[in-house]
């Protein structure tokens, strides 16, 4: 059983299809809309990941219905881009709440069930912006940097319970989050990849499904594009 947050977005929908296609039972958690997914393996729920009681109730409902949660994918995320000098405090907080606090609350909610069976996997969808920063994306970069820190701290804490925790940085994807970018921005971002192209939703989703099945990998952050950086992150 896998719980995927932000399931209505571009990557979220790809993850739902990829996990279901590999035989997983999927709980697709969406904030406002619930796409009609075919098949008995997909159960859709409305979830505000920033709401602790709602998160706890959703996990309780999953446990009552399925008896366990094997995988949590913290995919919910938003951007409200502005340069720092123009950035509204409410916008800053909204991004931090969804991208970072949401992952914390969802992880905290599933941990008791995973600890009980001494098995589980948490995957956080991060971003290379969290390591490098980006003009106009201070709130998004801060939230994703925090997510990388959360990933490694949680991996250290829960390794003794056989709970694996990793993060992926998907790279540039054709989703609603990048649809607002100007053509010159897209061109520059694609040019930064040595393969000269953006990433594929199917490849990213497939990698995450594969990683969920690995038993001896934890505390890692995987970059899934062709931008070549220095050895020291």
Task: Quickly tell me which residue has 């056989």 as its tokens.
Answer: 162
Residue 177 maps to a domain: yes
The pLDDT of residue 178 is: 56
Residue 231 maps to a domain: no
Residue 42 maps to a domain: yes
Which of 12, 11, 15, 46 lies closest to 32 in space, CA to CA? 46
Residue 62 has a CB neighbour count (10 Å cut-off) of 22
pLDDT(226) > 80: no
Residue 199 maps to a domain: yes
pLDDT(96) > 60: yes
Residue 120 maps to a domain: yes
The pLDDT of residue 225 is: 83
User: What's the CATH number where 92 sits?
Assistant: 3.40.50.720
Range of 77's domain? 2-223
Which residues belong to the active site? Answer: 140
CA distances from 83 to 42, 97, 141 (A): 39, 19, 12
pLDDT(119) > 80: yes
The pLDDT of residue 123 is: 98
The structural domain count of the chain equals 1
Residue 69 maps to a domain: yes
pLDDT(183) > 80: no
CB–CB of 231/178 below 8 Å? no
The pLDDT of residue 186 is: 65
The model carries a pTM of 0.91
Mean pLDDT on 37-60: 91
Residue 229 maps to a domain: no
The secondary element (H helix, E strand) that includes residue 43 is strand 42-46
Mean pLDDT of the chain: 89
Mean pLDDT on 34-45: 80
Residue 232 maps to a domain: no
């Amino acid at each position: 059983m896998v719980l995927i947050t932000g399931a209505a977005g571009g990557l979220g929908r790809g993850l739902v299809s990829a996990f279901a296609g590999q035989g997983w039972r999927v709980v697709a958690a969406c904030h406002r809309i619930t796409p009609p997914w075919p098949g008995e393996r997909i159960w859709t729920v409305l979830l505000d990941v920033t709401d602790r009681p709602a998160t706890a109730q959703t996990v309780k409902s999953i446990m009552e219905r399925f008896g366990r949660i094997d995988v949590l994918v913290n995919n919910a995320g938003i951007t409200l881009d502005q340069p720092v000098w123009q950035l509204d405090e409410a916008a800053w907080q909204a991004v931090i709440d969804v991208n970072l606090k949401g992952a914390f609350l969802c992880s905290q909610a599933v941990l008791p069930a995973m600890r009980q069976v001494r098995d589980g996997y948490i995957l956080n969808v991060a971003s290379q912006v969290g390591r490098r920063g980006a003009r106009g994306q201070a709130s998004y970069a801060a939230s994703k940097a925090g997510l990388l820190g959360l990933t490694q701290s949680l991996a250290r804490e829960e390794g003794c319970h056989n709970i694996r925790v990793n993060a992926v940085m998907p790279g540039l994807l054709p989703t609603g989050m990048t649809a607002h970018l100007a053509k010159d921005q897209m061109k520059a971002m694609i040019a930064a990849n040595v393969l000269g192209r953006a990433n594929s939703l199917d490849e990213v989703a497939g990698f995450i499904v594969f990683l969920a099945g690995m038993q001896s990998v934890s505390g890692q952050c995987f970059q899934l594009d062709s931008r070549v950086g220095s050895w020291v992150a």
